Amino acid sequence: MTNSMTRTARLIFTLTLLGTSTLLGHSALAQSPLFQPLYEVLSHPRCMNCHTITDFPRQGDERRRHDQLVVRGADNHGAPTLQCSACHQDNNVADGAVPGAPHWGLAPLSMGWEGLSASQLCQVLKDKSKNGDRSLADLLKHMSEDDLVLWAWTPGGNRTTPPLSQPAFVEAVQAWVNAGGPC
């Protein structure tokens, strides 16, 4: 009798834990499984550090404020005379210490993704009033061809890369676009 009660109590406890973790984990899970792989890439620091909602970029996997306290600036490319391109060239430097890619800069504030759940990020990504008037096809092109996006997979130094390979990411975006961009 006591054993049976203990087992029941354990079961209830385990189920409660599972239920709680599902609830807690909900915000990180997209409602559409087709968007989930995109979310895992877009929320990676290589993407998110410049898709901020702040007036400055971040850096590193710990996502600290960018060194030198550089700022976003009116055109998302830094202060008028301290532009991102003052340090970030079109390519990573030889030893990888300073990353670089063409048109290095922050995404506009309307494309800031920090703090968004997967489904919110999905909606913002598709919202033409926020995404630079891009259709789903335009998004596919941006995410598969833009030099600055592609940099995330060749970031230089010991920087980590997004969880999907670049070809797998393009396949995932293609599948999401083909399905009409479900969130």
Partner 1 sequence: MFTIRVNGIAHTVDVSEDKPLLWVLRENLKLTGSKYGCGQALCGACTVHIDGQPTRSCVMPISAVGDKQVRTIEDIGNEHIGGLVQATWQELNVPQCGYCQSGQIMAATALLKDNSSPSDQDIDKALSGNICRCGTYPRIRKAIHKIATEQL
Binding to partner 1 by residue 85, rule CB under 8 A?
Answer: yes
How many residues sit in the footprint of partner 1 (CB under 8 A)?
22
Measured from the CB atom, the residue of 84 and 183 that comes closer to partner 1 is 84
- Kindly tell me which of 78 and 112 has the beta carbon lying closer to partner 1: 78
Q: β-strands 78-79, 64-65: how paired?
A: unpaired
Q: How far is the CB of 20 from partner 1 (least distance, A)?
A: 44
| 86: contact with partner 1 by CB under 8 A | yes
Shortest distance, position 83 Cβ to partner 1, whole Å = 6
The binder of partner 1 chosen from 79, 132, 135, 146 (CB under 8 A): 79
> How many Å apart are CA 84 and CA 79, to the nearest integer?
8
The closest alpha carbon to 40, from 32, 28, 57, belongs to 28
Ordered DSSP codes for 62-93: TTEEPGGG----TTSSEETTEEGGGT--SS--
User: Contact with partner 1 (CB under 8 A): which of 1, 94, 129, 137?
Assistant: 94
Which of 1, 23, 62, 80 is in the footprint of partner 1 by CB under 8 A? 80
**Which pair of structure tokens corresponds to residue 107?**
């995404």
Contact call for residue 89 and partner 1 (CB under 8 A): yes
Residue 36 to residues 23, 45, 149, Cα–Cα distance (Å): 17, 16, 18
Q: Which of 87, 136, 149, 175 binds partner 1 (CB under 8 A)?
A: 87
On whether the CB atoms of residues 153 and 101 are closer than 8 A, the answer is no
Alpha-carbon span 91 to 101, nearest angstrom: 5
Which residues contact partner 1 (rule: CB under 8 A)?
Answer: 67-71, 73, 79-83, 85-87, 89-91, 93-94, 97-98, 100
